[in-house]
Amino acid sequence: MKIKVCIGSSCHLKGSRQVVEQLQALIAQKKLEDQIELAGTFCMNNCQNGVCVSCDDQIYSLTPDTVDQFFNNEVLTKL
């Protein structure tokens, strides 16, 4: 599974660094480094909401507060 997090200027201002750090921690905590590739990307043209994150070609808008919910509901259930 590949998860891409936008690190462009708009998403950076919305907390993309914190989102990346939280995803890194969750992946390490669950020992899923061999199953999940986490990558940065630039604008995905969905800047109006939160931080743009794509997972299996689906786009999500996250905030640092919604990362755990996203990880549990959208990532773990697909592994």
Burial, 62: exposed, middle or buried (Cβ in 10 Å; 0-12, 13-18, 19+)?
buried
Averaged confidence pLDDT in the chain: 95
Report, in this order, helix, strand and coil percent for the chain, each rounded to 5.
45, 25, 30
Nearest to 16 by CA among 36, 35, 44, 37: 44
Q: How far is CA 18 from the centre of its chain?
A: 10
User: How many residues are given for the chain?
Assistant: 79
Residue ranges of domains in the chain = 2-78
Q: Model-level pTM?
A: 0.94
CATH topology of domain 2-78: Glutaredoxin (3.40.30)
Q: Does position 16 have pLDDT exceeding 80, yes or no?
A: yes
Tens of pLDDT, residue by residue over 31-66, are 999 999 999 999 998 878 899 999 988 999 999 999
